[in-house]
Amino acid sequence: MEFMNFFWEILINFTIIICGGTILITFVAANYYKKTTSEMAFVRTGAGGNVVVCDGGALVLPLFQEVTWVKLGVQKVDVSVDHKDCFITKDRIRIDMNCSFYLKVEAEIGQILAAARTIGVKFFDRNQFSELLGPKLKSSIKNIINTTDFEEITCNSAEFEEKLNDMLNGFMTMNGLTLESVDLLKVVPTPVNKLSASSPFEMKVINNMTRQIETLKLEKKKMECESQIAIFKEGQKTSEIVLENNPLFKKRVV
């Protein structure tokens, strides 16, 4: 009898321990186990060192460990250049430009860790993300524009994007980013009336742009005249053929 009581006491205590442990594990898992999604990863820092989780989950102990989430989806950064910015091409044309950069963090440990260190929570605020990266992107655009003719920029956007990619490679690596693509939404000469005639430097730009505009106008006029002459000559040839094939014309000639 005493053995049975002892046995039941052990069984009850064991059951309590099992149930308590299950409840404790469930509570910890529900509150402190973090799981990633297809477009999210995180870096756990603190006790145990840095752990990058991009496909699965990990236990995060409060007070001892912290989590920095990182977006893996494509992020868009818009860069706008207007007459207030000093963006002048190699052939001395001041330009206005709007372009969009599409950036992303690849699902790789190195990139996720770098992005968490340098960008962190700014991923989740588009304005902060743009403010962080915008100045560097704008500076890179300016450097390329200063060494490129206007026609090269407008006619060969693929080469312009390649130059940007090469120039931004180190910066992107440092921030754990990859440049997916660049869209040039607008590339036009700055209107002359937006420039300041009181600045000697801008006066040079105005004079240069005015000369180029006049040259383009003359070229356009020349092309129009050549087109009209070609049309007139073609009309003359057609008239001569019609007259030659006309019997009345042949009789008169005879």
The one-letter amino acid code at 48 reads: G
The yes-or-no verdict on residue 254 having pLDDT over 50 is no
- Asked if residue 211 belongs to a domain, the reply is no
- Give 215 or 98, the one with higher predicted confidence: 98
The whole-number average pLDDT for the span 38-67 is 81
Single out the residue in 56, 71, 86 at which a domain terminates.
71
3-state helix, strand, coil in the chain (%, to 5): 55, 20, 20
pLDDT for res 245: 63
Q: Tokens 């494509």, residue?
A: 74
The yes-or-no verdict on residue 28 having pLDDT over 60 is no
Residue-wise pLDDT tens digits, 129-164: 888 888 888 888 888 888 888 878 877 778 888 888
d(CA 166, CA 105): 17
- Give 190 or 125, the one with higher predicted confidence: 125
Both 81 and 176 in one domain: the answer is yes
- Asked if residue 117 belongs to a domain, the reply is yes
Phi, psi of 135, deg, nearest 5: -60, -40
The yes-or-no verdict on residue 166 having pLDDT over 80 is yes
pLDDT for res 253: 44
H or E element in which residue 161 lies: helix 157-174
Single out the residue in 164, 189, 214 at which a domain terminates.
189
d(CA 231, CA 41): 66
- Give 93 or 84, the one with higher predicted confidence: 93
The whole-number average pLDDT for the span 103-129 is 86
Both 81 and 54 in one domain: the answer is no
Highest mean pLDDT among 2-16, 49-63, 192-206: 49-63
Rounded to two decimals, the pTM is: 0.65
Both 106 and 161 in one domain: the answer is yes
Both 23 and 114 in one domain: the answer is no
Q: Which of 141, 143, 142, 121 is nearest to 132 (CA)?
A: 121
pLDDT for res 48: 74
Both 66 and 89 in one domain: the answer is no
d(CA 8, CA 6): 6
pLDDT for res 82: 76
Q: In what order do the strands lie in the sheet with 75-81?
A: 75-81, 95-104, 178-189
Q: Tokens 């950064």, residue?
A: 77
Q: Domain range spanning residue 27? A: 2-71
- Asked if residue 223 belongs to a domain, the reply is no
d(CA 74, CA 96): 26
* Structural domain total, the chain: 2
7-11, 130-134, 163-167, range with the lowest pLDDT: 7-11
- Asked if residue 6 belongs to a domain, the reply is yes
- Asked if residue 210 belongs to a domain, the reply is no
The one-letter amino acid code at 151 reads: E
Both 92 and 182 in one domain: the answer is yes
Q: Where are the beta strands (DSSP E) in the chain?
A: 33-35, 40-46, 51-53, 57-59, 65-71, 75-81, 95-104, 178-189
- Asked if residue 149 belongs to a domain, the reply is yes
The yes-or-no verdict on residue 222 having pLDDT over 50 is yes
Single out the residue in 71, 95, 119 at which a domain terminates.
71
What's the chain's Rg over C-alpha atoms? 35
pLDDT for res 22: 62
- Asked if residue 239 belongs to a domain, the reply is no
Both 93 and 140 in one domain: the answer is yes
Both 62 and 96 in one domain: the answer is no
- Asked if residue 209 belongs to a domain, the reply is no
Both 119 and 52 in one domain: the answer is no
Both 8 and 38 in one domain: the answer is yes
